[in-house]
Amino acid sequence: MDTSNTLPIHNKAFTVYFENGQMAKAMRVRKDVDPETIVRVLGFVQSQACIFISGGAGLMSDGDKQLIKEIMDEVANFAQEHNAIIIDGGTESGVMQMIGDSRQRAHHTFPLIGVAPLGKVSYPGYKNEREEAYLEDSHSHFVLVDGDEWGDESNIIVRLTNRLGKTQKKPSVGILINGGKLAMHEVYLASTTDMKIPMLVLEGSGRAADEISTAFRTGQTQRSILRAIIAGGDIDLVAANEGPEAIREKLTARFK
């Protein structure tokens, strides 16, 4: 595997060649990049419906992980059928790995964009001595954000989702599965800024998703971030134990 410490030039497309034979179109950006630049460089000329996936699989049982894999298969099938783009964190972990595996197993062609902080990841052609994750090899595109902390990419994920979907009134929607502090922050951004994006929250998947679900159902919470999400967000709960059919039903309703 060809590795180096040479960083790509900002706002220029380059190709990542993975060991499994897959290729991905990528670009490096600053945190304040205009989403229009990303759209132009990566070649998304026309607006498309867009789904962003946030969260993880922390503290899940093997049975729960299998259920989430089946749900990700359904999300991938839906994206393929509706010519939608999926955006996530792009690394080899949790739901990001699952959606990449779903896309590859089914030989889908929908764009799968991973957005990650450059200071935390490595990929073929760039060995980062401080790496904490590796780029997932079934994604078709990557946006690598100048940043040394997880979360430096979150604002771009939400802004890019908003740009890809809403310019031509194409639907955009987020899906929260499990997740921790970072996922909670992404739902906050999607719920409280001018980039508002409806969120499907997978109730019963654990952690951040269940915190939001409980606050949404009861209307009671001591956490200011949850109060802001509930007050400002377009939240729709999806029961994880209802399986893939439930997430398809919710996505279909949002994409009409």
Which pLDDT value is given to residue 26? 98
Q: Which two tokens stand for residue 149?
A: 């902390």
User: Distance (Å, rounded) from C-alpha 75 to C-alpha 98?
Assistant: 11
Which one-letter DSSP state was computed for residue 6? P
Q: Which residues pair with 143 in a beta bridge?
A: 27, 115
Strands 172-177 and 141-145, sheet pairing: unpaired
Chain centroid to Cα 247, Å, comes to 16
Residues 136-167 have pLDDT tens digits of 999 999 999 999 999 999 999 999 998 987 65
Which pLDDT value is given to residue 169? 64
Which pLDDT value is given to residue 32? 96
Which residues of the chain, if any, have pLDDT below 50? 1-2
Which pLDDT value is given to residue 1? 42
Sheet holding 235-239, edge to edge: 14-17, 23-29, 141-145, 112-117, 85-88, 50-55, 172-177, 199-203, 235-239
**This prediction's pTM:** 0.95
* Residues 79/86, Cβ–Cβ less than 8 Å: yes
Residue pointed to by tokens 């410490």: 5
Domains of the chain are 14-254 (3.40.50.450)
User: Distance (Å, rounded) from C-alpha 184 to C-alpha 189?
Assistant: 9
Separation of first and last alpha carbons in the chain: 45
Which one-letter DSSP state was computed for residue 49? -
Q: Which long-range contacts (CB under 8 A, 24 or more apart) does 95-99 make?
A: 95/53, 95/55, 95/56, 95/57, 95/68, 95/177, 95/178, 96/53, 96/136, 97/136, 98/57, 98/68, 98/69, 98/72, 99/53, 99/72, 99/75
